[in-house]
Amino acid sequence: MQRVAKAGGDQALRRHSEAIAFLVMASLLVLAPMFAYPVFLMKALCFALCACAFNLLIGYVGLLSFGHALFFGWASYISAHAAKVWGLPPELAILSGAAAAAGLGAIVGALAIRRQGIYFAMITLALAQMMYFFAVQAPFTHGEDGIQAVPRGKLFGLIDLADQTNMYVTVLVIFLGCFLLIYRIINSPFGEVLKAIRENEPRAISLGYRSERYKLVAFVLSATFAGVAGATKALVFQLASLTDVDWPMSGEVILMTLVGGLGTLFGPVAGAFFVVTLENYLTTIGQWVFVVQGVIFVVCVLLFRRGIIGELAQVLRVKL
C-alpha cells in the first residue's frame, strides 16, 4: 500500500516537474536583483530568451540555425530606431523590433528551409553575415558607432523605465511571458507535428503534413522570439550596435543552448546564465574568454552532450 502511494506521489511530482521548475525559476528571478547587479541580470534574461528561441528550432524541429544574430541584432536596431527617432513608447518599440524579426525570419526561412542539416546551418550563417554587412552600410544604424543614447521611455506612458527596478520587472515579465508562450507552442498539436517531423520527416509527409510549411512557421516563431529578446536588449543597454548582428553572437547563443541542454525547456535559460556569469568573472583574464568558450564547446560536444539541465533531468528522471 505504502509503496504504491509513494509511487503515486513520485509520479505526480514527475508529471508536474516542469511546473515546479518554472516556479523555482520565476521565484529565483524575482529575488535575484537583491543579490546581483540588475543590468547583468537583464542581459542574462535577454540572452536566455534568445537561446530559448534558438532551442525551439534545434531541440524540437531539429534545425541548427547559425544566424540567430540576424534576428536578435536587427530587432535591436529597429527597436532602438523606433524609440529614438520615431519616439515610440517602449512597448511599441519592442513590438516593431519583433515584427521586423518576424519579417526577416519569413524571408530567411523561405530560402534556408530548402536545404537540410549542415546546408541549412551554412545558409543561415551566410545570410546573417550578408545582413551584417547591410547593417554596416545602412545609414540609420550608424555603422561602427551604433545607435546610441536610446531613450527607455515610459511604458504605456505611465511607468518610467529609466528606473532600474521598473526596467527589470518589465524585462522579467517579457521573459516569463515569452517562455510560457514557447512552452505552449511546444506542447500543442502544432508542436507534436514539429517533433514528428524531426523524428522522421518522410513519414510525417506521408501522413499528410506539409512539413515545409510547419518548418517555416517554426522558423518565423523562433525568429520573432529572438527579435523580442534583441528589441528588449536595445532598451536595457540604450544602445544597438554591430556586435549584435555579427556571427560570434550567433555562436554565443548556440553555446548557451548547448551548455544548458539542447531540447530541454530550461536548458537555454540555465545555459544563458552560466555563460553570462562566466564571461563576467573571466573578464580579468582577458582574451582567454574566447578560449574558455571554445573549450566548453569541445567538451560539451564530446562528453557532455546533454548539457546541464539534460544531465539533471537524467539524474532525477524527470522532464525538464
Partner 1 sequence: MFELFGISSQALFGQLLIGLINGSFYALLSLGLAVIFGMLNIINFAHGAQYMLGAFAAYFLLQYAGLGYWWAILLAPIVVGITGIIIERLFLQWLYKLDHLYGLLLTFGLALIFEGTFRNFFGSSGLPYSVPPALQGGQNLGFMFLPNYRGWVVVFSLAVCLTTWFVIERTKLGSYLRAATENPALVRAFGINVPRMITLTYGFGVALAALAGVMAAPIYNVSPQMGANLIIVVFAVVVIGGMGSIMGAIVTGFGLGLIEGLTKVFFPEASNTVIFIIMAIVLLIRPAGLFGRSA
Partner 2 sequence: MKRMFTLTAVAVVLGCGYAQAQYTDGTIKIGVMNDMSGTYSDLSGQGSVIAARMAVEDFGAAAKGMKVEIVGADHQNKPDVGSNVVRTWIDVDKVDVIVDVPTSSVALAVNEIVRDKNKVFLVSGAAASDLTGPKCTPNTIHWTYDTWALANGTGKAIVKTGGDTWFFLTADYAFGHALERDTAAVVEKNGGKVVGRVRHPFPGTDFSSFLLQAQASKAKIIGLANAGSDTINSIKQASEFGITQSGQNLAALLAFITDVHALGLQTAQGLIMTEAWYWDLNDANREFTKKFAPQFKGVHPTMVHAGVYSAVTHYLKAVEALKSDADGKAVVAKMKEMPTDDKLFGKGEVRADGRKIHPMYLFEVKKPAESKAPWDYYKLRATIPADEAFRPLADGGCPLVKS
Residues that bind partner 1 (CB under 8 A): 64, 66, 111, 114-115, 117-119, 121-123, 125-127, 129-130, 133-134, 136-137, 247, 251, 254, 258, 286-298, 300-302, 305
Residues 235-254 that bind partner 2 (CB under 8 A): 237-239, 241-244, 246, 248-249, 251-252
Supply the DSSP symbol for 266.
Answer: S
Pick out residues in 81-140 that bind partner 2 (CB under 8 A): 136
Residue 160, φ and ψ in degrees, nearest 5:
-75, 115
Bridge partners of 313? none
d(CA 292, CA 280): 13
Buried b (16+ CB within 10 A) or exposed e, 159-190: eebeeeebbbbbbbebbbebbeebbebbeeee
* Site for partner 2 contains 277 (CB under 8 A): no
**Binding partner of residue 149 among partner 2, partner 1, none, CB cut-off 5 to 8 Å per kind:** partner 2
Q: Which amino acid is at 3?
A: R
End-to-end C-alpha distance for the chain, whole angstroms = 29
Which among partner 2, partner 1, none contacts residue 145 (Cβ within 5 to 8 A by kind)? Answer: partner 2
Question: Which 3-state string (H, E, C) describes 47-100?
Answer: HHHHHHHHHHHHHHCCCCCCCHHHHHHHHHHHHHHHHHCCCCCHHHHHHHHHHH
Our CB check for partner 2 shows the closer of 197 and 242 to be 242
Q: Using CB under 8 A as the criterion, what x/- string covers residues 174-213 for binding partner 2?
A: ----------------------------------------
- Closest to partner 1 by CB, 69 or 82: 69
DSSP 262: T
Contact residues for partner 2, defined by CB under 8 A:
37, 39-40, 136, 143-146, 148-149, 237-239, 241-244, 246, 248-249, 251-252, 279-280, 282-284, 286-287, 289-290, 293
